[in-house]
Amino acid sequence: MEKTINNWIPFLTLIRREIKRFMKVMIQTVVSPIVSSSLYLLIFGVSLGSQVNLPNGLPYITFLIPGLMVMGLINNSFQNSSSSIVTSKFSGDLEDIRVAPITNHQIIWAMGIGGIIRGTVVAFITGVVGMIFHYFMVGDFLPIKHPLLFAMFTVLCGLIFSFCGIFIAFIAKTFDQLSAFSTFILIPLTYLGGVFMTIQGLHPFWQKVCHLNPVFYLINGYRYSMVGVSDVDLTTTVVVCLLAAVVTYLMAMYSLVKGSFARW
């Protein structure tokens, strides 16, 4: 009964499905980040930011924009994969994917790429809104200093949090467990990772604590690629990010093998 199929087609179909899915909820993916980033920029960038003097000499809004962009990337890549799986658990779609000739690797990569794309769309929109604010406050648009590094950190960040989303969504048995991860782990790590502040002003003890946070390296790597400043050296950042990508990939794989495809 030999019936061989092109392995790329199921993989590309899954990616297409992921993209189409988030495109159907445009208010979440496009409108919501415009509103939230405008508010952040208005309150932190314009109002409070004018009173902030950073040790690295950058205008606060220049420092803030990459932080907001990467925060959008982190949240949306995580939400894309986790909500895709959770809604599929409700609808029963996961059973279709499970009985189709699709490997676990294909599922993980397809969801990872879906997450990168959604996260990048949100980061891009946040960046565009940020540029407008930047132009009016600083007088020019914010250039990307290291485009290749920027692309690398965008991909790594999107993948890491998409993989996290897969892991949590498969392991979670209830909505509570899913939102607990977001509330107690993802948001604190992101906020304490340097979205709004540099750690240079912190007590040395808290600076050391910040170095234990993997999100800190991601945010600083992303910011370095855009504006050329970071609280940590680039090599360490790249190594930590690559390691985080491998670890989260393995976690996602574990969750697919051990987790439940059953309905909620």
Partner 1 sequence: MKALEVKNLKKVYVDVKDASRSVHALRGVSFDINEGEIFGLLGPNGAGKTTLISTITTLEKPTSGELNVFGLDVVKNARTIKQNVGVVHQEVINTGYFNVTEILEFQSGYYGILNNGDRIQFLLDRLALKPHAHKKVKQLSGGMKRRLMIAKALVHSPKLLLLDEPTAGVDVELRESLWKFVAELQKSGMSILLTTHYLEEAENLCNRIAIINKGEVNYCGSPKEVIQKYSTKKIHIKLTNGDTKEILTSAAESLNNVLAQHKISLADIVDIQMTEGKLEEAFTKVVIAGREAHGAAQ
Identity at 82, one-letter amino acid code: S
Phi, psi of 260 (to 5 degrees): -105, 135
Least separation in angstroms between CB 15 and partner 1:
10
| Closer residue to partner 1 (CB): 2 or 176 | 2
Least CB distance to partner 1 at residue 46 (A):
37
* Given 6, 51, 174, 235, the residue binding partner 1 (CB under 8 A): 6
Which of 90/135 has CB closer to partner 1?
90
Residue pair 230/236 in contact by the 8 Å Cβ criterion: no
Minimum Å distance from CB 94 to partner 1?
A: 9
**Positions 40 through 99 that interact with partner 1 (CB under 8 A):** 87, 90-93, 95-99
Contact 22, 158 (CB under 8 A): no
State how far the Cα of 237 lies from the Cα of 221, in Å rounded to an integer: 6
CB-based burial label for 101 (10 Å; 0-12, 13-18, 19+): exposed
Smallest distance from partner 1 to CB 58, Å: 42
Q: Which is nearer to partner 1, 1 or 212 (CB)?
A: 1
- Site size for partner 1, by CB under 8 A? 33
Least CB distance to partner 1 at residue 8 (A): 9
Nearest to 62 by CA among 164, 121, 12, 135: 135
Instruction: Please say which residue, 173 or 263, places its beta carbon nearer to partner 1.
Output: 263
- Segment near partner 1 (CB under 8 A); pick from 10-18, 121-129, 224-232, 237-245: 10-18
The stretch near partner 1 (CB under 8 A) out of 18-26, 35-43, 149-157, 215-223 is: 18-26
Q: How many angstroms separate the CA atoms of 223 and 220, rounded?
A: 5
Give the C-alpha separation, 254 to 257, whole Å. Answer: 5
Instruction: Give the pair of three-digit tokens for residue 39.
Output: 């508010």
- The DSSP output letter for 164 is H
7 binds partner 1 (CB under 8 A): yes
Q: Does 173 bind partner 1 (CB under 8 A)?
A: no
Q: How far is the CB of 105 from partner 1 (least distance, A)?
A: 12
Residue 170, CB half-sphere, CA atoms under 13 Å: how many?
A: 24
**Dihedral (C-alpha) 165, 230, 141, 161: value to the nearest 10 degrees?**
0
Q: CA 214, CA 72: separation in Å to the nearest integer? A: 17
Among 47, 56, 103, 200, binds partner 1 (CB under 8 A): 103
If one asks whether residue 16 binds partner 1 (CB under 8 A), the answer comes out as yes
Which residues make up the interface to partner 1 (CB under 8 A)? 1-7, 9-10, 12-14, 16-17, 20-21, 24, 87, 90-93, 95-103, 261, 263
